[in-house]
């Protein structure tokens, strides 16, 4: 298993990016200025995208695991990788997601805590209604974790 940084042609992984964020022009708002990584385990299984939001805040903008590889720990491994890679340069890791049972419990299991809500984010920014688990997404729920050095680390 290896996690590698993608420096060029990030759109090569568009089908994975669209799994987490289904409107391409919304992905275009962050992809070029972002750092992107793919997790390869006998083929690319997952990707994640992070951006510098200023003031010591790193934001996880996109995280997706191939449908046939979900539930095997790849999503959690990418989050741990991001924590370890960026903890020296950022104070907080945040993620915004829909109010959905497909994602909120996952982020909470990975150590994020709910922070705040941006009302009507999905209805105001996307050109069509977004549904997850049969429910229309309306508000963006933000979750955060502190990126402090763990005890015992140099």
Ligand X SMILES: CC(C)(COP(=O)(O)OP(=O)(O)OC[C@H]1O[C@@H](n2cnc3c(N)ncnc32)[C@H](O)[C@@H]1OP(=O)(O)O)[C@@H](O)C(=O)NCCC(=O)NCCS
Question: Which residues would be at the binding site for ligand X (CB under 6 A)?
Answer: 19-20, 62-65, 70-76, 97, 101-103, 105-106, 109
Closest CA to 103 of 21, 26, 37: 21
Tokens at 105, concatenated? 């419990």
- Least distance (Å) from ligand X to the CB of residue 129? 16
Decide whether 76 or 152 has the Cβ nearer to ligand X. 76
Decide whether 45 or 90 has the Cβ nearer to ligand X. 45
Decide whether 20 or 147 has the Cβ nearer to ligand X. 20
User: For residue 145, what is the enclosing H or E element?
Assistant: strand 140-146
CB 143 within 8 A of CB 115: yes
Q: What is the DSSP letter of 74?
A: H
Paired strand residues for 140: 98, 118
61: Cβ contacts below 8 Å, ≥ 6 apart: 21, 30, 34, 49, 50, 51
- Least distance (Å) from ligand X to the CB of residue 50? 12
- Least distance (Å) from ligand X to the CB of residue 151? 22
Distance (Å, whole) CA 54 – CA 57: 6
- Least distance (Å) from ligand X to the CB of residue 149? 23
- Residue closest to ligand X (Cβ): 75
- Least distance (Å) from ligand X to the CB of residue 98? 8
Decide whether 143 or 147 has the Cβ nearer to ligand X. 143
Decide whether 11 or 76 has the Cβ nearer to ligand X. 76
């Amino acid at each position: 298993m290896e996690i590698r940084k993608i420096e060029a042609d990030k759109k090569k992984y568009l089908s994975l990016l669209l799994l987490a964020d289904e409107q391409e022009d919304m992905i275009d708002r962050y992809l070029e200025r972002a750092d992107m990584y793919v997790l390869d385990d006998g083929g690319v299984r997952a990707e994640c995208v992070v951006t510098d939001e200023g003031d010591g805040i790193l934001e996880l903008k996109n995280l997706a695991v191939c449908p046939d590889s979900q539930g095997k720990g790849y999503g959690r491994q990418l989050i741990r990788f991001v924590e370890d890679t960026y903890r020296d340069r950022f104070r907080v890791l945040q993620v915004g997601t829909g109010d959905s049972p497909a994602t909120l419990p996952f982020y909470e299991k990975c150590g994020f805590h709910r922070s705040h809500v941006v009302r009507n984010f999905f209805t105001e920014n996307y050109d069509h209604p977004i549904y997850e688990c049969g429910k229309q997404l309306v508000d963006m729920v933000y979750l955060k974790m502190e990126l402090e050095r763990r005890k015992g680390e140099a």
